[in-house]
Amino acid sequence: MREPTAFAGSGVRDAGILLEQKVRERTAALQESEERYRRLAELCAELYWEQDEHGQFTKIFGPVLEMLGAGGDEAGAACWNEAERKALQSAIAARRPFLDFALSSVNADGSRQVFRISGEPILNSACRFVGYRGIGVAAGASVRNPT
Question: Looking at the structure, do residues 58 and 76 belong to the same domain, yes or no?
Answer: yes
For position 143, what pLDDT does the model report?
Answer: 47
Residue-wise pLDDT tens digits, 14-49: 888 999 999 999 999 999 988 887 777 667 778 889
Count of all residues that appear for the chain in the document: 147
CATH code (residue 82): 3.30.450.20
Question: Looking at the structure, do residues 23 and 58 belong to the same domain, yes or no?
Answer: no
Question: Looking at the structure, do residues 33 and 88 belong to the same domain, yes or no?
Answer: no
Q: How far is CA 40 from the centre of its chain?
A: 11
Average pLDDT over residues 100-112: 88
Average pLDDT over residues 107-129: 91
Provide the residue range defining the domain that includes 99.
Answer: 45-144
Question: Looking at the structure, do residues 60 and 122 belong to the same domain, yes or no?
Answer: yes
The count of C-alpha atoms lying within 13 angstroms of the C-alpha of 22, restricted to the half-sphere facing its C-beta, is: 6
Does the pLDDT value for residue 140 go beyond 70? no
For position 119, what pLDDT does the model report?
Answer: 94
The helix (H) or strand (E) run that includes residue 98 is: strand 98-106
How would you classify residue 101: left for phi > 0, otherwise alpha for psi between -120 and 50, otherwise beta?
Answer: beta
pLDDT category, 52, cuts 50, 70, 90?
A: very high
* Number of structural domains found in the chain: 2
pTM over 0.85: no
CA distance 31 to 27: 6
pLDDT category, 144, cuts 50, 70, 90?
A: very low
Question: Looking at the structure, do residues 92 and 136 belong to the same domain, yes or no?
Answer: yes
